[in-house]
Amino acid sequence: MIYEGVVMSDLFIIGNGFDRAHGMETSYYNFHQFIKDNCKNMPYTGVVELLSQDSENKIDGMIVYEPIEYLDFFQIIIDQTDGPDWKNFEDALGRLDFSDVLRDYGTDYDTDSIKYLNGRSIESINQAILTVKEMFPLWVKSILIDNQIKKKDRIQEMLKGSHYILNFNYTDTLEKLYGEKNVFHIHGNQNSDIIFGHGNYVDEEFDNEEFEIYPGADLYLNMMKAELKKPVDRIIERAETQNFLDSIKDVTKIYSYGFSYGSVDLPYIVEICRRIDTYNVTWYFNDYSSDYEIKKYQEIVKKCGFKGYFSTFHV
């Protein structure tokens, strides 16, 4: 029940689509370009099969694998990304497929030789993964928010009332463009540590059967996936996250803008629905999304425990 005279607040859930709607180059393709521009002089890493079939490029009749560039490794991730959103890129990080560069038990080679080649390959792949992870915060900090980026009047109007902002972006667009002072960047921002990764959780004992077919590489593959995992449970347990969740109990309207409801971020939506009496809440989706997407988002939110109403808003 909404009581007369009680101040109610809005909650804004902001994703990468917010920045892109402001003309900012913050897609994972832009991150790819950043790597292109900054990895030109880096040493080689990764593995590809040589085109040459000369005997000196073989060990026990097997083709020797030689290094490729960091860019080629990043291209592997992009090629395995099914969709245009960062959630698709994060999903791809959690299910990287290296079957093209690793040997499995199905080959005709002996196990010791396979382990040798896979061991060489996995060391290079591991270095490439660590490099991608290290370069991500450098890219985030390089994103400029200048006077060429124009704020939207409708957004300015919506932000006039009592509100909270949960920002999944790393940029300070809301602060610099709209003058917001209380933006909760749940994964960090341009002036703090950055949390980056996927939500495909790996068993702590690294015994996932998915990689057991690659002798000499299975342990490291699972360790690398764990290295790229977002520690969502730990993020939720942090004092600053708990303080934010405790503060939003007076929310009666939730607006999501540019947020794509990727699986890695759904535990946060579950927590929001736990902290608010959602029977009295309306959840608004930006009408930039298609009817199909909005229906899909509604189903996701309901599965997260939301019991209220749905509507759309226009910017």
Residues 81 and 97 sit within 8 Å (Cβ to Cβ): no
**Which pLDDT value is given to residue 165?**
98
Most confident option among 2-6, 136-140, 271-275: 271-275
Residue 215's pLDDT band, with cuts at 50, 70 and 90, is confident
- Nearest by Cα to 141 from 283, 298, 22, 31: 31
The Cα 308–Cα 298 span in angstroms is: 11
The Cα 32–Cα 20 span in angstroms is: 16
Size of the chain in residues: 315
Q: At 148, give phi and psi (nearest 5°).
A: -80, -15
- Nearest by Cα to 30 from 105, 89, 97: 89
The Cα 288–Cα 277 span in angstroms is: 27
Among the ranges given (59-63, 278-282, 294-298, 300-304), the one the predictor scored with the smallest mean pLDDT: 59-63
**Which pLDDT value is given to residue 109?**
55
pLDDT over 60 at 81, yes or no: yes
Residues of the chain with pLDDT > 90: what percent? Answer: 48
**Which pLDDT value is given to residue 224?**
73
* Of residues 105 and 28, more confidently modeled: 28
HSE, CB side, 13 Å, CA atoms: give it for residue 189: 18
Residue 50's pLDDT band, with cuts at 50, 70 and 90, is very low
Among the ranges given (17-21, 154-158, 204-208), the one the predictor scored with the smallest mean pLDDT: 204-208
pLDDT over 80 at 284, yes or no: yes
Mean pLDDT calculated for residue range 150-179: 96
Mean pLDDT calculated for residue range 173-198: 92
Residues 314 and 154 sit within 8 Å (Cβ to Cβ): yes
**Which pLDDT value is given to residue 99?**
66
Average pLDDT, the chain: 79
Phi-psi label, residue 146: left if phi above 0, alpha if psi -120 to 50, beta otherwise:
beta
Question: Given the DSSP bridges, would you call strands 251-257 and 9-14 parallel, antiparallel or unpaired?
Answer: parallel
pLDDT over 80 at 248, yes or no: yes
